[in-house]
């Protein structure tokens, strides 16, 4: 195969040409957005116009857009920062409610609070598709002293799962959290550009975005943060972003991120329809080639991201199967790129009740704006023989 078939857009997707142009146009332009001279003011104008474009794309006010270095920093700022701020207001607030299927940027931040900051953690139960239901959040909130949520610092449930693509009932969860006066954060890194993400309508306190999942550059992201919330900073310095995030802004990356976000929102319906049809063809092709393959996540297309297909292959190790496909020029993932190469069962599938062996033999195929029917056909031809070889290797 002369050119690789790229089926790992959930890890990162190619930059959109428009975002590349926006970034390169500004790379040779000097100016720190915090400087008061003319060059600084020009840079500041680019930043503020970009902030307005991102806010419009995702249903936020410009003042609610806090630029970060990416999704991981935004998740950490939300989880740790809100915990510290809420505990400072009331030392009794040491409980964190979190779903067990979160990305490690959230999971590890929660574990860190538990280990170093005295947090107690309630892991919210999920159903067989890995979905948290509002009733489960309500039950956890009511487990506090006197049947209330006075000891809860925050709750965090992702908008859509990065492995299985299952979409969460965010508006319902946020309504319950608001009823108890608890801020709810959602990592929407995977959801942005695939399903409608409207921060204002969601009722969330905070929402995480990143550039490289929607056709923007690496190293830039944002925390959409309600004006009534002021998390304690992770980084201290100039306080450039609402006094909650310090650091000189990467103006070219900010500009490119805004273009990518704007286009992702504008093209979302068309993208979802086109890539969703390709995804359905991919699912059918894999099932035809490997009849006992198990499609994980919500089987209803309306309940999962349109670009995602996550399978378990009985009798296979996911890493072995990935490498067999990679040798044929087909690039995919065993799940989250952050755990690639680690021979462990998927924590997402384990939380949803899957068998550990089945949770170890998973592959995620994720599509994007450059995906084609030829990519699906290449996978259809390769997956059956690759599974057969992986199973044979497991028997030796």
Backbone angles phi, psi at 155, to 5 degrees: -130, 150
Q: HSE on the CB side for 131, CA within 13 Å?
A: 20
Among 251, 254, 221, smallest CA distance to 39 is for 251
Identify the sign of the CA torsion 239, 242, 244, 248.
negative
CB atoms within 10 A of CB 304: 28
Give helix 71-89 / helix 104-116 axis angle, nearest 10°: 30
Helix (H) or strand (E) holding 288, with range, is: helix 268-289
* β partners of residue 246: none
Residues with Cβ within 8 Å of 260's Cβ and at least 6 positions away in sequence, in order, are 15, 16, 18, 19, 211, 214, 215, 216
- The partner residues of 123 in beta bridges, in order of sequence, read 98
Reply yes or no on whether 338 is catalytic: yes
Task: Please tell me what DSSP assigns to residue 186.
Answer: E
Contact in structure between 234 and 77 (CB atoms under 8 Å): yes
* Residue whose C-alpha is closest to residue 138's, from 170, 180, 82, 169: 180
**Longest Cα–Cα distance in the chain:** 70
Q: What DSSP element (H or E) covers 155?
A: strand 152-156
Q: Which of 327, 338, 374, 392 is catalytic?
A: 338
Taking a C-beta distance cutoff of 8 angstroms, is the pair 9, 371 a contact? yes
Other beta carbons less than 10 A from residue 352's beta carbon: 23
Rg, C-alpha atoms of the chain: 21
Identify the CA nearest to 249 among candidates 27, 30, 47, 28: 47
Q: Which residue has the tokens 């890493």?
A: 319
311 vs 318: CA distance, rounded Å: 10
Residues acting as catalytic residues: 338
């Amino acid at each position: 195969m002369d050119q690789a078939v790229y089926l790992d857009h959930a890890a990162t997707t190619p930059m959109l040409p428009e975002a590349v142009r926006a970034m390169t146009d500004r790379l040779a332009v000097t100016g720190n957005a915090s400087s008061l001279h003319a060059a600084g003011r020009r840079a500041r104008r680019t930043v503020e116009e970009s902030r307005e474009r991102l806010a419009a794309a995702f249903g936020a006010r410009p003042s609610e857009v806090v630029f970060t270095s990416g999704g991981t920093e935004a998740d950490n700022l939300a989880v740790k920062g809100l915990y510290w701020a809420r505990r400072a207001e009331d030392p009794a607030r040491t409980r964190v409610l979190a779903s067990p299927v979160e990305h490690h940027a959230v999971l590890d931040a929660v574990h860190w609070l538990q280990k170093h900051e005295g947090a107690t953690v309630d892991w919210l139960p999920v159903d067989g598709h890995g979905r948290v239901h509002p009733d489960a959040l309500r039950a956890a909130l009511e487990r506090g002293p006197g049947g209330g949520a006075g000891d809860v610092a925050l709750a965090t449930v992702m908008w859509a799962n990065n492995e299985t693509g299952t979409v969460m009932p965010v508006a319902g969860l946020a309504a319950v959290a608001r009823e108890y006066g608890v801020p709810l954060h959602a990592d929407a890194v995977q959801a942005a550009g695939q399903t409608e993400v409207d921060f204002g309508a969601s009722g969330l306190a905070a929402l995480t975005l990143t550039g490289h999942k929607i056709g923007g550059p690496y190293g830039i992201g944002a925390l959409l943060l309600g004006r009534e919330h002021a998390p304690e900073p992770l980084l201290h310095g100039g306080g450039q972003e609402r006094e909650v995030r310090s650091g000189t802004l990467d103006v070219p990356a900010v500009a490119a991120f805004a273009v990518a976000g704007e286009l992702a929102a504008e093209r979302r319906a068309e993208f979802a329809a086109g890539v969703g049809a390709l995804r359905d063809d991919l699912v059918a092709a894999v099932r035809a080639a490997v009849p006992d393959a198990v499609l994980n996540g919500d089987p209803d297309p309306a309940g999962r991201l349109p670009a995602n297909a996550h399978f378990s292959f009985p009798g296979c190790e996911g890493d072995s199967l990935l490498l067999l496909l990679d040798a044929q020029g087909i690039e995919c993932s065993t799940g989250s790129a952050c755990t690639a190469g680690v021979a462990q069962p998927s924590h997402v599938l384990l939380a949803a009740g899957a068998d550990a062996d089945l949770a170890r033999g998973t592959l995620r195929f994720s599509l994007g704006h450059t995906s084609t029917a030829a990519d699906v056909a290449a996978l259809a031809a390769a997956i059956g023989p690759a599974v057969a070889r992986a199973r044979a290797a497991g028997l030796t």
